[in-house]
Amino acid sequence: MSEQIIFRHDVVKLISEIMEQDASGQNLEGTLASIGIDSLVFLRLQMQIESEFGVSVPDDIDVDSMTGDQLVALIVDQRALAAS
């Protein structure tokens, strides 16, 4: 199983926990805003990602344009940079 798929599952789980929704309804192909993530929810998600995955998530992410899949790719890239 690829690292991207693993982190995708973990990000869906984090989003579901933060938004108190069933994980089966989360679609990471749309923008973060389209799945209900506003700037305040993103701050909570950002802190959880940094805590759980040990990566830094930029503060200037635009929830209206970034997709969930792009966020997952960012996490994978940041972990790869940290490992090198």
**Domains of the chain (ranges plus CATH)?**
3-83 (1.10.1200.10)
Question: Alpha-carbon distance 68 to 63, whole Å?
Answer: 9
Residue 72 to residues 55, 68, Cα–Cα distance (Å) = 12, 6
Q: What is the pLDDT along the chain (84 residues), one digit of tens a residue?
A: 577 788 888 888 888 898 887 766 667 889 999 988 999 999 999 999 999 989 999 989 999 999 999 999 999 999 888 887
Q: What is the pLDDT of residue 25?
A: 62
Q: What is the pLDDT of residue 48?
A: 93
